[in-house]
Structure formats: C-alpha cells, structure tokens
Structure 1
Amino acid sequence: MEEAAARERKRPREGDAAPSAAAAAGAGKAQYVYLPVADALKAPGARVFLFAAVSEIGAAVRSRGTDFTLTLRVADQSRPAGISVTFFADNVALLPCVKASGDVISLHNVVITMHGEFFVTFNKKFSSFALFEGKVSTECSPYQTSTKYYGTQYDNELLTQMRTWLAYNPPGLKDLELQLRSLKSDTTFDLVCKVLHVYENNGEWIFYVWDGTDTPAAEFQAILDAEAVESSPLHLEGVPLPREVLCTMPCVGTVLRVFTNRYIKEVFHLQKNIYWARFCNITCKQEFGIWKGILGPSSRVRLLSHEDGSVVDRMNRIANQVHRQPMASLPGASNIADVEYEAAGYTTLMESLTHEQVTHKFKTLVRVVAAYPCRASELRLLLTGSYCLRLTLEDPTARIHAYVHKDDGAKFFGGFLTAEALIKKMNKLLGIPEEDEEGTPLTRNPPWIWCCVKSYRLDKNDPWGSRRYRIFGTEIRD
C-alpha cells in the first residue's frame, strides 16, 4: 500500500508541470523540458514548456468575460502545421505583441487542451512567455516578456536552433501565395495586402485591399450585341465610395474588393486603415472585367505587423513604383491614338479622381472597355453633332466615364468617315479583332492608348456630385 501511494504521488496530475530535464543542483536555477509541439500534444491537461515560431498572428479582442484574449499559431520542426495558442490577460498590454510572423516565442506552464481539436491555453495566473526576433542575429535577448517569465541557460541554444530552422522554413509562405499582379480565376491562394477600407451593407462585408501591384488586364467577350458592350459598371459595390474615403486610396496599383457574407473577428482592427493582413484560402473571379475577391467558408484573415518579412518586401517594392505606367501596358502603348500634349506627364485615373480641384486636365494611359452608343447608325449621327459619345476608360487604379462631345466627334475619329470606317475605328478602340477564316473571335482585348482628358462640373452648387470627364486633344488613327 505504501509503495502504491508513493507511485501515485510521483505521477503527474492534470495541471502539473512536465518533469524537469535535470535537478537544479548547485546551480540554483530551474531547468525545464522544452517539448517539441508534437510531443506536447501527447500530454493533454499537463503544464508544458514550448519553444516555437509564431506562424500566424491573431487580433486582440475582449473575451466573453472581463479579460482580453489573443490567439497565435506556433510551429516547430515536429509540427510545421502548428497549433493555436490562446492567451488571456487583464488588459491588452499584457498580451504578446508579436513584431512579425517568424518570431520565436518561449512558453512556460501552458496547458494542452482538447476541445474538438488540440490547442494550447495560456493561463494568466501561472503561465508566462518571452518573445524573440526570428531573424538570424547575435541578439538573443527577448523584446517582450511577461512578468512571471524566467529564462534558462539553454534558451540561447534553442533560439539559435529555431532561427536556423526558420531560415530554411519561413512560416506562412506557400506555393499558392499570389500578388494582385498574378491573380488567376477560380484558384485558391493566399494574399498579403494592406487593408485600406472596410464597408458593411446588410450583412455583406467588402474589404478594400492593395499590395501596390496591378491586377491583370481582363479580356472581354467579343459580343457585337450593343447592350453587352455598353453595360460596363465603374465598380462592383452598389454605390461609389464617399469622396473622403476615395481620397485615402493610393494612386498607383489596383485596389481589390474582397467580398464575404460572414463576420470576420479581425474587422475591428482592419477598419483602422493601418494594418497589413494575410487573406488565406481566398478565390478570385472577374465580373464585367473587374477582379473580385471572395472569402469562402475555409478562408481566414491574419493580421501582419509592419515588420513582418512579407510586408517589408512589398513595401520596398512599392517605394520604387511611384508614377509608373500600368504593368499590362508594357513595353508600350499602341499607336492608334495621337494626343496634342506629348510632353505632358502621366497621370493615373485615381490621381484625377482624388485631385483637390474639380477641374483637372491630364494625359493618361487607358483602355476603352465600353462605348455608348456603339451601333453603326448612331455612330454615324455622332459626326453630324446629333449624338454625344460616352466611353468607359480603365486603368489599373479606376474606371471613369469620359465623353466625346458632339462638336468633337469628327476630330476624335479623324474626319467625317463612312459608317464602315467609323465602325472599324470603334472596333480598334474596343479591341475587337477582325474576322478571320476561323470565324468570329470569342474575346476582345482593348489596346492601351494615350488620351487627353479634362474634368468639369455641371452644377456649381454641387461641383463634386456633378463632376464629369471629357476627352480632348485626342485623335484615333486609321
């Protein structure tokens, strides 16, 4: 009976710490067993010690009680897929503030919990942590520690090992991580981007995201039906953005709209227009030639620090792309249009939309993605001054409607032309190729053209609401 009682006293109980690696004989310092994550999962209910890399950073939110909570995902060599760690604290300042995914965290006296799946619980009463930079350096001191944390003499060695592993296995990088410039329809991928704005309407959320690159230029169905060519919306959301929001948008690169019908808990943080994030497992498709992101049931959003390696990489690239021409237009625009102001600088459509004055003259590089009217009979009347032509212009930053006024029609098309010649020029603008031996082409790809545009107002009492664009100083060649 006494031997059985002794064995029972030595057996670890739920909540007990894992056995130490060595006795603290003579050293006066406790020695801990840092378990690989895979081995820690074999001890549910026990207190364990982990040394791992942070692969995903969650958002700090208030729990159902009075605490604040934060979830990180950590990984090591034994479990690259990682495991979630949930922290609780009396205030946000006591939670881990991870600089970048790939940083290293030391966790003491955390508990492996099972609730549908394994995860780690950080108890504010007895657990502790320390955060270290994950990049290789000579600095081994933590940049943040909790009040109860005490390191060991083996921490530096473990940190060096973890940094070496991270150098060849950076967290979060996947084969299916894309930038906006390389989007593909109906492909599941991750996107690292800055969230510029969040909008909610009747349970549908729209995230306006940007990474400094241009989405690929779309091809359109080469349908000669007038309604199909004329109906090309300027944006996918129901109403345009308020001007005060529009003016916060960057003037270079595409702002992608990402749609979802479910609430994302990181929304509160993303609404502040300061965060970069990783959108995981999202898909994209085109509607009316505009790229649209979609968050599905398996999609997730992870906040990223400005010091995260993937964010730093993108910010460095963006810094070198000010006032660049659309990527899809390279190596150069087509030669089907002449403009009067050859020496004028280049302006994107978003630069004009956010210009401080209502009236604005500029030269831009665009595609004509739609025209109204586009029927032969109506175009012929345009040259007589009976019709006003509306073209939908597009570059990577925005779309606008720009008008060819009645008295400018003949100049824009290069003279008083026959109906046949007029249609031929309009087809060039819209990217509709001529029929070949194989029959009618299935797609059209509008060319990039230089164009002179100016804005004006219709109502002096509502200058911004009545703002319109007009094409001038531009002639379409034969």
Structure 2
Amino acid sequence: MSGSSSTIISIREARQKRLKKKANLAGIVTEFSFPRKSAGTDYVSILKIVDESEMHEELSVHMFSDRIEDLPLVQSYKDFIILYHVMIKEYENRPCAICNKQYSSYALFDVNSNTPNYTPYQASRGFVLLEQDTGYVPRMWQVSRYHDMGAGNSEYIVSMKNLAANQHFDLICKVLHVQEASRNRWMFFVWDGNDAPPLSLDTKYKDSEIPLGIEPVPLARHIICQFPCVGTVLRVTVDQGLKDIGLHFKGIGKWVKFRNIRCEEHSGLWHGLFLPSSRIRFLSENDDSVLQCKRTIDERETMEEGFLPTWSTPLPNLTVVDYPSLPTSTLMDFLTNSEEV
C-alpha cells in the first residue's frame, strides 16, 4: 500500500476539493475512445477511470497531445493508469480531468501478470514514477484483480437482431478481426451470435454490380474460416484518420461494449459506424451481458433449427427433404468447409 507521503489523491477528493486545481491520480480504465482530431490543433482521446473511492462513478479524463501516437491506447480489461499534474475542471456540469501535453504525464500498466509490474507498457514523454508513489502500482494491481468492472449502463444496449438504421446505440459483441479498409480507415468485424434484420436492395441487377460485402477488398479465406457459422458478422468502420490503430488494438478475440455507435444501410447490407463520440469498453468473459450472449449462442447450436436466422419463422411441417438425417448447414458452413466442393 502507498504511504501517507504519496502525491496521488483519490478521485473522490479530486472531485470534491481540487476543482480548478492540478492533481495526481491513479485509476482503473473502464472505457476509452480512439484518438481523434480535436476542435483545435491537437489530438484528443477520452478515458473513463475509477478507483477505490469511486468504483461506480467514473471520472472522464480528456487527454490532449500534438502527436497522435502519444495518446494512450488501452490494451486490456482493467488496465490502470497513473496521471500526474492533470487539471480538474467542470465539463457539462460534471468534474473531469484534463491531461495537457505541456505539464501533464501518464503511464498505463498491465494487470494480466501474476505479480505487479512496475514497468508501464505505454507512457508519455517525461513520465517518471515518483518514489513515494511506487506503492500505488501493487495497490492498483490488487484493486484491478479483485474488483470486476461491469458493462455499465444497459439502457441503450441493442442486439444485432434489433438493429435499426440511423439509430445511436450500444452493442455487446466479440471482436473477430480488424483490418485496414483504406488509408488510415479501419474496419472491425464483430459478432454477438444474433442475425441482423434483412434489408431490401433498391436496385436492379442490370443497373450496377451488387456488392457482396462492405469491405473494399474481400477477406482472405483463412480469415473467413475463423468466423462463426451462425449469426451476422457486422462491419464497423473507424474513420478518424488513425494511422496503425488496428495494428495496436489488442481486443481481437475479446468481448467488448461499443458505446454510441450508429448503423446505416449500404447496398442492402448493414454497416456500423464508430463516431468521434463513440467509446470502447473491454468486458470480462464472466460479465452478465457476455454470459447472456454466450447462452443465446449455445441455445442456437443445440436447437434443431438454430441455424435459421433469429428473425425468421420456423420451418413449416410440410417441408420435406430427401435426407432428413443430415444436419442443416448455413452458407458460412460451406464457405469455411476445408473440403473441396
């Protein structure tokens, strides 16, 4: 535990006593945005953090830098951050912390180790962990390991089976793949086990070529073969001029909560959009919202008609097949089949 000489104060104290003053903070990162261009000349990203004093009321931290690569990129669930000389201000009638490139510094620490790691995986230029604050590394490591961070507010969560065009919503999903769609424009391939509603295609075959996907270049077969065979794989585009963001993103294969994204129709296909106000929240495999998705997936895999889209009606009893003993397959089953057809 840190001693009384530590320069770091609690989030509660920062809110109550340090308004319009600088403070040193330490907190678990619950949510983050991708870096983007600010209204001025800098780049900005926003983190949400909690600590022992405020486990259920997050503090927003606005990070500013003149170089996009200097902004934090959180790697995993419950990583923690140490912040030096951040200004506590009011923004939209709520206290927040401002990390300024001129006088502030930060360091991100990994909690996925058996013992506390005093070496940050990312730190701003000029960050030096003060000797009297070293006790905060094992302290935050312990808090991270023994306190679960939930999915947060569920008011705006929508599953893929209930997607609607031009609606802002939150999505609990698993990130299957990330690839660059064009220069500094990245595409996330996400899935929650449900099927998105069908869309109509308002065009004639002779008028134009009908696209088979949102991505400009078809995915390699070895990538498609890793995708689930049941449920929609939604394409979500991050179009914020982010160089190499997909290469540094460590969430592939993890369950996340996308906050405040939007969907639109694109040539009969669903297309998700990551907005400047959107956020990402890493989730635990044992989070209630994740377990609910997994239960839905397990039920579909065990049900005889689980291969059918979740929006479809059951097969009529009049349907007759020549080989009733054979399992029913989806198109993805054929696309991912290793045997030559």
Give TM-score scaled by structure 1 length. 0.47
Report the AA paired with residue 201 of structure 1. S
Query: Which residue does the alignment assign to 2:187?
Result: 206
How has the CA–CA distance of structure 1 residues 120 and 333 changed in structure 2, closer, same or farther, with 3 Å as cutoff?
A: same
Query: What is the Cα-based RMSD across aligned positions, in Å?
Result: 5.1
For the pair 1:185 / 2:180, whether they are aligned, the reply is: no
Query: Which residue does the alignment assign to 2:247?
Result: 268
Query: Which residue does the alignment assign to 2:264?
Result: 285
Aligned runs of 1:68-107 on 2, under 5 Å? 72-75=47-50, 77=54, 80-84=57-61, 100-101=77-78
Give the superposition deviation at 1:132: 8.5
Give the superposition deviation at 1:345: 0.6
Report the AA paired with residue 355 of structure 1. N
Structure 1 Cα separation of the partners of residues 217 and 109 of structure 2: 47
Aligned runs of 1:225-244 on 2, under 5 Å? 227=205, 233-244=211-222
Query: Which residue does the alignment assign to 1:397?
Result: none
Structure 2 Cα separation of the partners of residues 185 and 296 of structure 1: 15
Report the AA paired with residue 285 of structure 1. E
Query: Which residue does the alignment assign to 2:69?
Result: none
How has the CA–CA distance of structure 1 residues 333 and 41 changed in structure 2, closer, same or farther, with 3 Å as cutoff?
A: farther
Give the superposition deviation at 1:198: 1.6
* Cα deviation code 1:90-142 (max 9, x no counterpart): xxxxx9988635x8x695x83223799832589xx998999989xxxxxxxx9
Who wins on radius of gyration, i.e. which is larger?
A: 1
Contact 2:176 2:253 in 1 (8 A): yes
Query: Which residue does the alignment assign to 2:276?
Result: 297
* Residues matched between the structures, number: 291
Q: 2:10 aligns with which of 17, 34, 50?
A: 34
For the pair 1:113 / 2:87, whether they are aligned, the reply is: yes
Contact 1:251 1:350 in 2 (8 A): yes
For the pair 1:253 / 2:225, whether they are aligned, the reply is: no
Query: Which residue does the alignment assign to 2:294?
Result: 316
Which structure has more RCO (C-alpha within 8 Å, separation ≥ 6)?
2
* Cα deviation code 1:65-91 (max 9, x no counterpart): xxxxx98421475993522286xxxxx
SS in 1 for 2:247: helix
Unaligned runs of 5+ in 1: 1-28, 61-69, 87-94, 134-141, 360-478
How has the CA–CA distance of structure 1 residues 298 and 312 changed in structure 2, closer, same or farther, with 3 Å as cutoff?
A: closer
Structure 2 Cα separation of the partners of residues 78 and 121 of structure 1: 25
SS in 1 for 2:19: coil
Contact 1:276 1:306 in 2 (8 A): yes
Contact 1:49 1:110 in 2 (8 A): yes
Query: Which residue does the alignment assign to 1:4?
Result: none
Structure 2 Cα separation of the partners of residues 42 and 203 of structure 1: 38
Report the AA paired with residue 195 of structure 2. D
SS in 1 for 2:57: strand
For the pair 1:144 / 2:116, whether they are aligned, the reply is: yes
* Cα deviation code 1:269-294 (max 9, x no counterpart): 34884344433321112234321112
Structure 1 Cα separation of the partners of residues 97 and 309 of structure 2: 46
SS in 1 for 2:195: coil
Q: 2:30 aligns with which of 28, 31, 55?
A: 55
Report the AA paired with residue 61 of structure 2. S
How has the CA–CA distance of structure 1 residues 84 and 306 changed in structure 2, closer, same or farther, with 3 Å as cutoff?
A: same
How has the CA–CA distance of structure 1 residues 211 and 48 changed in structure 2, closer, same or farther, with 3 Å as cutoff?
A: same
Structure 2 Cα separation of the partners of residues 130 and 295 of structure 1: 26
SS in 1 for 2:333: helix
Give the superposition deviation at 1:336: 7.0
Structure 1 Cα separation of the partners of residues 207 and 74 of structure 2: 52
Contact 1:195 1:276 in 2 (8 A): no
Structure 2 Cα separation of the partners of residues 205 and 96 of structure 1: 15
Identity of matched residues, %: 22
